């Protein structure tokens, strides 16, 4: 039997924009997703936006009962900055305070430990209008928002995260055009990345100055970078890919400084951000207590087969090509590679290169398009998802047995939820959601997850 410790965290993750709904009631301000859907709904799959999502705001009590029914002893959710502070700073929305207090209290009453994340891609539009993460002033407003959350909820919440997957709003918002403000501007991307690392450190500083008795960390989507071969140029390609995809946030968050090799590349391409030595000191002095890791798929790269276009805007792919490994295992419903050993490689990397800091898997999951085809007698028979979890947990357990300090496993996600530009195209939940009537039904994987949590293994 694969057995985990009795105090191991089993749960799931969600985010405010993807689950709450209630986008324009009870004083909530507009965020970038509300605005983008309002102005360009065609960008979203089936023209479904973030307005209702999975109605957690309205149905949180029912949903928390379902969390209990699916074996959760912990649950990560995020606080909507634009709900709490409709103007980005200043006056606090009392109805938001009431809502998040009610959610926290309901979780605790059901013996489910709350993990709170402060930023999950959902910049308030009023903050974006003054430059978003490009603007140093917004960094200060975020730090103030974080402090307000600590002051109001820190008496009961002992596990905090500053950001979820900060590399995503850098890449997708400022390099690839997938997320608002959909820029292709490498200079802005570097500035946004630097300011986000600084915002993380300022939030940690505020938390510690309040003498909180919990822990604060950051959630990073780590994708191990594997070279096509042991050829030195393939190895160099994977090293550089790792600098951009993983170490750009992992090193400053855990070690307090940016990788020297990354800085050299940024300088070479004349992309250095505006910075101050005092801000660099804040980053160096305020590192995380623990780490959240989202893992979905590996990143496989090879040495470039052709010279980059010198006239094109800089992209990390200047230094490598993506490589499709022959014979790879793949999720046929989503198109992503499935490589379970990746969690083991992450575990050993954290053990050996990052001081064996305490960490947990904060997201791991399998998205399926058209999942209704697996419906039998009213229940989604998602054995494929159970197998996905089992195979990742086997490798995670091996890493723990070899000394990696992993304390939990959270899946993405509890209930089928709205997913940015894909809206409801791919379903990830332990619980299925009928969009026509908001009916919730536990899938086969949800029943299995309860057994996993109760037995602390399988």
Question: In CATH, what number is assigned to the domain containing residue 374?
Answer: 3.20.20.80
Are 128 and 181 in contact by the 8 Å Cβ rule? The answer is: yes
- The sign of the torsion formed by the CA atoms of 242, 247, 250, 255 equals positive
Model confidence over 433-449: pLDDT tens digits? 999 999 999 999 999 99
* pLDDT on residue 79: 98
Provide the domain count of the chain.
1
Helix, coil or strand: residue 180: coil
CA–CA separation, 245 vs 365, rounded Å? 20
Residue 170 maps to a domain:
yes
Residue 4 maps to a domain:
no
Residue 145 maps to a domain:
yes
Residue 342 maps to a domain:
yes
Strands (E), 118-183: 159-164
CA–CA separation, 165 vs 167, rounded Å? 5
Are 450 and 437 in contact by the 8 Å Cβ rule? The answer is: no
CA–CA separation, 155 vs 150, rounded Å? 8
Residue 3 maps to a domain:
no
DSSP one-letter string for 87-116: TSSSS--HHHHHHHHHHHHHHHHTT-EEEE
Question: Could you list the residue range(s) of the whole structural domain that residue 300 is in?
Answer: 9-455
Residue 320 maps to a domain:
yes
* pLDDT on residue 274: 98
Residue 304 maps to a domain:
yes
* pLDDT on residue 212: 82
Strands (E), 60-184: 74-78, 113-117, 159-164
Buried b (16+ CB within 10 A) or exposed e, 28-64: bbbbbbbbbbeeeeeebeeebbbebbbbbbebbeebb
Mean pLDDT of the chain: 97
Model confidence over 111-165: pLDDT tens digits? 999 999 999 999 999 999 999 999 999 999 999 999 999 999 999 999 999 999 9
Catalytic positions are: 165, 363
Who's near 94: CB < 8 A, 6+ residues apart? 27
Residue 330 maps to a domain:
yes
* pLDDT on residue 312: 95
Are 235 and 227 in contact by the 8 Å Cβ rule? The answer is: yes
CA–CA separation, 291 vs 357, rounded Å? 7
Predicted TM-score of the model (pTM): 0.97
**Averaged pLDDT for residues 205-219:** 96
CA–CA separation, 335 vs 18, rounded Å? 22
Model confidence over 45-78: pLDDT tens digits? 999 999 989 999 999 999 999 999 999 999 999 9
């Amino acid at each position: 039997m694969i057995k985990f410790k009795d105090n191991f965290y089993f749960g799931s993750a969600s985010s405010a924009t993807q689950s709450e709904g209630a986008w324009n009631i009870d004083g909530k301000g507009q965020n970038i997703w509300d605005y983008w859907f309002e102005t360009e709904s065609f960008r979203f799959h089936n023209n479904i936006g973030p307005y209702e999502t999975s109605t957690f705001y309205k149905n949180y009590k029912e949903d928390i009962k379902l969390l209990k029914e699916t074996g959760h002893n912990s649950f990560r959710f995020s606080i909507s900055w634009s709900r709490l502070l409709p103007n980005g700073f200043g006056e606090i929305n009392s109805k938001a305070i009431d809502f998040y207090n009610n959610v926290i209290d309901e979780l605790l009453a059901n013996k489910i430990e709350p993990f709170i994340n402060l930023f999950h891609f959902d910049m308030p539009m009023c903050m974006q209008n003054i430059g978003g993460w490009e603007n140093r002033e917004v960094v200060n407003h975020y730090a103030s928002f974080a402090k307000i959350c600590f002051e109001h909820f820190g008496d009961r919440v002992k596990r905090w995260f500053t950001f979820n997957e900060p590399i995503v709003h850098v890449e997708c918002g400022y390099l690839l055009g997938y997320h608002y403000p959909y820029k292709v501007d490498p200079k802005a991307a570097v500035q946004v990345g630097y300011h986000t690392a600084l915002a993380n450190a300022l939030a940690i500083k505020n938390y510690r100055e309040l003498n909180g008795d919990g822990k604060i960390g950051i959630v990073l989507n780590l994708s191990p970078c594997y070279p096509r071969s042991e050829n030195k140029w393939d190895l160099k390609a994977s090293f550089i890919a790792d600098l951009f995809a993983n170490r750009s946030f992992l090193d400053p968050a855990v070690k307090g400084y940016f990788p020297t090799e990354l800085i050299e590349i940024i300088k070479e391409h004349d992309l250095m951000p505006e910075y101050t030595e005092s801000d660099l000191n804040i980053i160096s002095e305020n590192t995380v207590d623990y780490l959240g890791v989202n893992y979905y798929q590996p990143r496989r790269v090879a040495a470039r087969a052709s010279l980059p276009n010198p006239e094109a805007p800089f992209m990390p792919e200047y230094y490598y090509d993506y490589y499709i490994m022959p014979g790879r295992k793949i999720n046929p419903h989503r198109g992503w590679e499935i490589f379970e050993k990746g969690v083991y490689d992450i575990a050993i990397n954290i053990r050996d290169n990052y001081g064996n800091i305490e960490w947990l898997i904060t997201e791991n999951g399998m998205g399926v398009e058209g999942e209704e085809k697996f419906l039998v007698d009213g229940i989604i028979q998602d054995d494929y998802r159970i197998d996905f979890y089992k195979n990742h947990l086997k490798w995670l357990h091996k890493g723990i047995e070899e000394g990696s300090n992993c304390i939990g496993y959270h899946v993405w996600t509890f209930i089928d939820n709205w997913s940015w530009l894909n809206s409801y195209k791919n379903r990830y939940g332990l619980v299925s959601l009928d969009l026509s009537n908001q009916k919730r039904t536990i899938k086969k994987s949800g029943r299995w997850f309860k057994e996993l949590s109760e037995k602390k293994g399988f």
